[in-house]
């Protein structure tokens, strides 16, 4: 049995490795009590803790994490932003669509690709035009290709 209060305490004040481990374990716990401490950890001084906290929030599969994850899309570290996008993709909450559309303009290529892929999985028509612009205008072929694939997914009706 996982001691959630102890893990939350470590997440707030342990070493970097201990905080990362605590975030990972909290994400596997399935306990919604971990959501707010993990959201708070998205502001941790160390990017590794922020990345692991984003992953953990995605694993918890609770849309209560969405507002905190959306805020974390502004993180200065591209690895954190990419982790946040992945978590938002797992949660499949439509509140993330417009912030993900904004992420199509991110300065980092993997972040733009991740945003396009997640938007394609959401199949939300609001993303179709922005994806079209990215597919035509992004300077990197990998991003253009991801945007085009995402557009194709949006157009399919299931």
Q: What is the CATH number of the domain that holds 1?
A: 1.25.10.10
> Which pLDDT score, from 0 to 100, does residue 158 have?
44
Q: What is the pTM of this model?
A: 0.94
Q: Let me know if residue 82 belongs to a domain.
A: no
Model confidence at 101, in pLDDT bands (50, 70, 90)? very high
User: Which of residues 38, 54, 69 is at a domain's end?
Assistant: 69
**Mean local confidence (pLDDT), 5-34:** 96
Model confidence at 1, in pLDDT bands (50, 70, 90)? low
Whole-number Cα distances in Å, 99 to 108, 112, 114, 125, 156: 15, 12, 13, 14, 23
Same domain, 110 and 62: no
Average pLDDT over the chain reads 96
Q: Let me know if residue 25 belongs to a domain.
A: yes
Domain assignment of residue 123, given as a range: 92-158
Cβ atoms 86, 54 nearer than 8 A: yes
Q: Let me know if residue 140 belongs to a domain.
A: yes
> Which pLDDT score, from 0 to 100, does residue 155 have?
78
């Amino acid at each position: 049995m996982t001691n959630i209060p102890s893990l939350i305490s470590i997440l707030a004040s342990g070493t970097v490795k201990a905080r990362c481990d605590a975030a990972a374990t909290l994400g596997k716990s399935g306990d919604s009590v971990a959501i707010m401490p993990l959201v708070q950890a998205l502001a941790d001084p160390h990017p590794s803790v922020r990345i692991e906290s984003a992953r953990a929030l995605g694993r918890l599969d609770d849309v209560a994490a969405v507002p905190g994850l959306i805020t974390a899309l502004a993180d200065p570290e591209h690895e954190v932003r990419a982790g946040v996008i992945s978590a938002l993709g797992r949660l499949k909450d439509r509140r993330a669509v417009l912030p993900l559309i904004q992420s199509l303009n991110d300065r980092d290529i993997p972040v733009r690709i991740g945003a396009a892929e997640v938007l394609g999985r959401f199949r939300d028509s609001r993303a179709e035009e922005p994806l079209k612009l990215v597919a035509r205008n992004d300077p990197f072929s990998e991003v253009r290709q991801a945007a085009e694939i995402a557009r194709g997914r949006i157009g399919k009706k299931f």
